[in-house]
Structure 1
Amino acid sequence: MKAAKPPKVTIRDVATASGVHVSTVSRALDPARRQRISKEVLALVEETARRLGYQPNRAASALRTGRTHTIGVLLPDITNPVFPPILQGIEAAAAARGYFVFVANVGDPQLAQPILARMKAQQIDGLVMAIALREDPLIDFVRDSGMHAVMVNRADESGRLPAAVSDDRLAMKLAVDHLVALGHRRIAHLAGPQTVPTGVGRRQGVEQALRDHRLPAPRIVECDSYSREAGQQAMRVLLESSGKRPEAVVCCNDLVALGAYDVLRAAGLRIPRDISITGHNDMPLVDMVDPPLTTIRLPHRELGWQAAEMLFQAIEGQALLASTVVLRPELVVRASTAAPAAA
């Protein structure tokens, strides 16, 4: 015979054990209203709720407030090392406000709208999007749905949605300036997909930096994705193209740079003696490859945090301080770049 389940602890039980009114407990346990409660009473209510094992009734709260205290996050590729720290930042900001995060990995852009419709049916309060192509109808779909939404790591070029991003053009300028200072003049670029805002921004950054140095336009090979395999294919194309071999290659991200490593090693070329390589993102372990990769470090966790904070401002009806938050990248110099051998 099964033992009877203990009765569920209610908000009234917490109020009785705390010696305060039910409405006080309600405010103390509501992230949107808890600032109205003194620190002493808030600590008392939270300790009592933990001791009694109180679990809030989210369904009832949603009916009462019109909010579910959940947000959705759409990621393009959860296996890409860029996105876990972004997600950590989002989750940290959400936890601080008592929100739960639904995460969807959208490998196929065609699935984005059905996934988003499902999230909307679950009554999420808002959305953080790390996906979206240039001129993507998904953005209009989000806006037309009336949902609060913020983009992260990618910005909508038309400004239809607020965003938290890194400065892609500055990132590429830092890489090019470093290579030019070493003495490189023939610089190529393995570019990201031109259907994605980051791919365009980084390519433009490389092109502008070389113009600023009065150097020839870069030889550019576009990758079809931000993957190691795409980097391998692009590096093969670059090596097989006519003309002098580049002295240095600026890669659109670290995975593409690792793909370039594979092809250069197979071709008997040494990094950086024969050709210098730079990456972008400073993903984990790129300091452990041979040679350690010179790359651009981004504040990925901060990007996620900022995007979530912008979303919560919108959910709570506050005016956004900025429609786009741009965080500054930094160059991390390691052993994959050196002066040209001839120098």
Structure 2
Amino acid sequence: MASSSRTGPAAVSAPVTIRDVAQAAGVHVSTVSRALDPRRRSLISAEVLAQVEAAARKLGYRPNRAASALRTGRTHTIGVLLPDITNAVFPPILEGIEASAASRHYFMLMAHAADNGTARAIVERMLAQRVDGLVMATATRDDPLIDFVTAAGIPAVLVNRADDSGRLGAVVSDDRLAMKLAVDHLAQLGHVRIAHLAGPQNLPTGVGRRQGFEQALRDRGIKPSPIIECTAYSRDAGRLAMQQLLARPKRPQAVVCCNDLVALGAYDAMLAAGLQVPHDLSITGHNDMPLVDLVSPPLTTVRLPHRELGWRAAEMLFESIAGEAGSASTVVLRPELVVRASTAAPRVLAGH
């Protein structure tokens, strides 16, 4: 009688375990465990470490993160919340966060949280995934999400925006100094009618930059100038705000914009009105996002250390995760002015 053979899908081989790696490397299982743990690998000699890593590569070993999380209470994953993934400001911030995370063998989950309702749902999902901590670039003034995060007891750090109450640590750029740099530059060119297209006043950056602008005018002895609040940090919002400004009886000589996208919107409004930058009006931006040196004319703006913002925020978070952080603190990084062709000495025009 002919023997029958079973057909069907090929059997899936069992996953490689640290016991398999230990056997292949000729060492104890505990040695493999230490060698593959970034925090304990320094306890292993270089020769044994190389031996274990070679065996792991040959066998195709992959760490079981779920099992590790059950043992240690850590998933080696952090969550990152951004308010606008289309804004060119955030990729270098993410790059800095990722560099810090990668150096610790951490994985980064990134999510777009456009408003408080969305952000709360995302954080709840991340907590369900047992992330070890959060980096949030989404803070608003009196943000209820910060109440939720602090009540949950999860380590969290803010980046690019600080919390007014100081409940969470933050890494930000010096918004007041940024405005001073822009105003001082324009004043030195001879401008005395300097307006401001301000960011949304429900955001810490919008308030901080507006206050910095007003203080810079006072420091220079320049009379208060028009301030138009933008509804968002966007090109469209900048165009609409600039249209309002140009509709006023007396046109300013220069405009300090709350960010580069708003400045590009101001360019659009100027073009539509038949005006030229800087021939009719000088414009400054804020952020020095990619390609603003290629617009016409290239934009004078304030450069922020975006990658360092992300890296420092992640470093602060990992200190908190490790229990090394003290009270919540705010790290303030220094911006710098980048002068290009969108600013020039004012023209003397009758009636303006």
Q: Same fold (TM over 0.5)?
A: yes
- Determine the structure 2 residue equivalent to 1:313: 319
> Is 1:248 paired with 2:259?
no
- Determine the structure 2 residue equivalent to 1:189: 196
1:129 counterpart letter in structure 2: M
Q: Is contact 2:166–2:328 with CA below 8 Å preserved after alignment?
A: no
- Determine the structure 2 residue equivalent to 1:340: 346
- Which of 121, 142, 161 lines up with 1:114 in the alignment? 121
> Is 1:53 paired with 2:85?
no
**Aligned partners of 1:257 and 1:40: how far apart in 2?**
58
- Determine the structure 2 residue equivalent to 1:63: 70
* 1:67-104 deviation digits (Å, cap 9, x = unpaired): 11111111101001111111111111111111111111
Q: CA deviation at 1:302?
A: 1.0
Q: Is contact 2:167–2:328 with CA below 8 Å preserved after alignment?
A: no
> Is 1:36 paired with 2:43?
yes
**Aligned partners of 1:113 and 1:14: how far apart in 2?**
42
Go from structure 1 to structure 2 and tell me whether the alpha carbon gap of 1:328 and 1:36 turns closer, same or farther (over 3 Å shift). farther
TM-score (norm 2): 0.93
When Rg is computed on C-alpha atoms for both structures, the one with the higher figure is 2
1:139 counterpart letter in structure 2: I
Structure 1 gap ranges (5+): none
**Aligned partners of 2:184 and 2:46: how far apart in 1?**
51
* Equivalent residue runs for 1:121-270 within 5 Å: 121-242=128-249, 244-270=250-276
Q: CA deviation at 1:320?
A: 4.6
Structure 2 gap ranges (5+): 1-7
Q: Matched residues, percent identical? A: 72
**Aligned partners of 2:135 and 2:50: how far apart in 1?**
31
Q: Is contact 2:316–2:325 with CA below 8 Å preserved after alignment?
A: no
2:127 counterpart letter in structure 1: K
After superposing the two structures, state which structure 1 stretch, 305-314 or 36-45, moved more.
Answer: 36-45
Q: CA deviation at 1:43?
A: 4.1
* 1:164-208 deviation digits (Å, cap 9, x = unpaired): 111111111111111111111100000000000000111111111
**Aligned partners of 2:47 and 2:83: how far apart in 1?**
44
**Aligned partners of 2:213 and 2:38: how far apart in 1?**
45
Q: Is contact 1:167–1:328 with CA below 8 Å preserved after alignment?
A: yes
* 1:194-237 deviation digits (Å, cap 9, x = unpaired): 00000011111111111100001131000010000000010011
Task: Please provide the CA RMSD for this pair.
Answer: 1.6
Q: What secondary structure is seen at the aligned counterpart in 2 of 1:285? A: coil
Q: Is contact 1:189–1:220 with CA below 8 Å preserved after alignment?
A: yes
- Which of 325, 333, 337 lines up with 1:331 in the alignment? 337
Q: CA deviation at 1:319?
A: 2.7
Go from structure 1 to structure 2 and tell me whether the alpha carbon gap of 1:307 and 1:44 turns closer, same or farther (over 3 Å shift). farther
TM-score (norm 1): 0.96
Go from structure 1 to structure 2 and tell me whether the alpha carbon gap of 1:337 and 1:112 turns closer, same or farther (over 3 Å shift). same
